[in-house]
A and B are shown apart, each in its own frame.
Chain A
């Protein structure tokens, strides 16, 4: 199984932009709000994944990966969604491959943080 997903964009900004439809006039920027929610949620899920792997608790690990895939998919964060999906469907969510996938997730998140941060800046202006 390949651990790289280079064929996918890190963030599909068109997906993010589609949520402008839900913007209510006079309220804070909705896309910015979603970015903040996401940037807040992902580190929590990573913590949960680390703890679960340490405790050999694959149920919790699987659930956290599922949430990560859901949130990421919804915001067009495609790479993370794909890796999280791969993680969720591992035979063992607490083995070596799991640890490796978690590592790639964290690496990818650094990249995503930058892209989303820039997008946030642009929209807050």
Chain B
């Protein structure tokens, strides 16, 4: 083991050094507190220090105190050297954070026993430190795996609707088949009004309740075969495959009606409102969901700016 000695008395210092070397330890010798402090902060610093209580510059107790002020996961094991008849020094030393003590005159048998106990403690400390590192690594790995799983998931946790990824996958698939099946589709892009105000004034729990309420209203309004999604934050999207001509307006009126009745009936501190952009997609064209979403988004934005509560259906293209 690598051991630091800080001892200004040459006789004690020589006895310590010789004994430790004889027992196969690697010894770093210093004769004052400042050198000891430096050696304890060098690269590859010793894990164990034998510090004399009394030294001309910085004494062993002060070094202890300073060491214990440092945040580290490899604390130095400190054995303080005190005089046999100075009990108050001993107590002060232990209070300052010394792990153990040795009294002078030196008893080399006692020294050897103390070193063995120190080695056991350091070994335990090291295995504990390694265990903590392993656990930390395992937790980090787990977090990454969860994150990856979340990215793979197709549904939104809060509402149970499809998430952005799920929506894109399904809608893109529908876009490919709609030409073959000769069906016309309706895409609705809906943005909640005032979610930020609900979050700011009533808290995020109320915000989440409002988002879930919108999801429920969408579920009530549309059919099972329609693709409902929360794209993120306060944005929702609905793709209605296979819609009959002129049915769009009726569907949007039903949505508006369901919103109104929720706001009337619900025992909530807030009301929910949506800005909506809806576009019909003709089956004659080859289309991609992202282009159509951009169209619907634009309509929604215009709607949001006007915001007179009327729902709008844009004519195709």
Q: CB within 8 Å of B: which residues of A?
A: 15, 18-19, 21-24, 30, 33-34, 37-38, 40-41, 63, 66-67, 69-71, 73-76, 81, 85
CA distance A73 to B86 in the complex (A): 14
CA distance A66 to B52 in the complex (A): 12
Contact A21 B11, CB 8 Å, known A69-B83, A73-B104, A74-B106? no
**Interface residue from A21, A30, A37, A63 paired with B54 (Cβ < 8 Å):** A63
Main secondary structure of the interface of A (DSSP, over half): helix
Is the beta-carbon distance between B105 and A33 smaller than 8 angstroms? Answer: no
User: Which residues of chain B are near A71, meaning CB under 8 Å?
Assistant: 9-12
Contact A34 B14, CB 8 Å, known A22-B108, A63-B56? yes
Is the beta-carbon distance between A22 and B18 smaller than 8 angstroms? Answer: yes
B19 touches A (CB below 8 Å): yes
User: Which residues of chain B are near A30, meaning CB under 8 Å?
Assistant: 18
User: Which residues of chain A are near B22, meaning CB under 8 Å?
Assistant: 21-24
Is the beta-carbon distance between B12 and A74 smaller than 8 angstroms? Answer: yes
Is the beta-carbon distance between A70 and B18 smaller than 8 angstroms? Answer: no
B151 touches A (CB below 8 Å): no
CA distance A73 to B105 in the complex (A): 5
**Interface residue from A22, A40, A70 paired with B104 (Cβ < 8 Å):** A70
B315 touches A (CB below 8 Å): no
CA distance A18 to B14 in the complex (A): 14
Quick one: which of B168-225 are within 8 Å of A by CB? none
Most buried by A among B8, B14, B15, B105: B105
B317 touches A (CB below 8 Å): no
Cβ contacts B100-121/A at 8 Å (1 or 0 each)? 0000111010000000000000
Instruction: List 28 A–B pairs whose Cβ atoms lie within 8 Å, in order of A's numbering.
Output: A15-B105, A19-B15, A21-B22, A22-B15, A22-B18, A24-B18, A24-B22, A33-B14, A34-B14, A37-B10, A37-B11, A41-B9, A41-B10, A41-B11, A63-B54, A63-B56, A66-B83, A67-B8, A67-B9, A69-B83, A70-B9, A70-B12, A70-B104, A74-B9, A74-B15, A74-B106, A76-B105, A85-B85
B133 touches A (CB below 8 Å): no
CA distance A70 to B16 in the complex (A): 13
Is the beta-carbon distance between B83 and A70 smaller than 8 angstroms? Answer: yes
Smallest beta-carbon distance B131→chain A, Å: 37
Cβ contacts B1-40/A at 8 Å (1 or 0 each)? 0000000111110110011011000000000000000000
User: Which residues of chain A are near B104, meaning CB under 8 Å?
Assistant: 70, 73-74
User: Which residues of chain B are near A81, meaning CB under 8 Å?
Assistant: 105
CA distance A73 to B12 in the complex (A): 10
Known: A21-B19, A67-B8, A73-B104; 17 extra A-B contacts, CB below 8 A, are A18-B108, A21-B22, A21-B108, A22-B19, A23-B22, A24-B21, A33-B14, A40-B10, A41-B10, A66-B83, A67-B9, A73-B105, A74-B9, A74-B12, A74-B104, A74-B105, A75-B11
Cβ contacts B150-174/A at 8 Å (1 or 0 each)? 0000000000000000000000000
Smallest beta-carbon distance B179→chain A, Å: 93
User: Which residues of chain B are near A85, meaning CB under 8 Å?
Assistant: 85
CA distance A63 to B54 in the complex (A): 8
User: Which residues of chain B are near A18, meaning CB under 8 Å?
Assistant: 108
CA distance A93 to B313 in the complex (A): 103
User: Which residues of chain B are near A33, meaning CB under 8 Å?
Assistant: 14
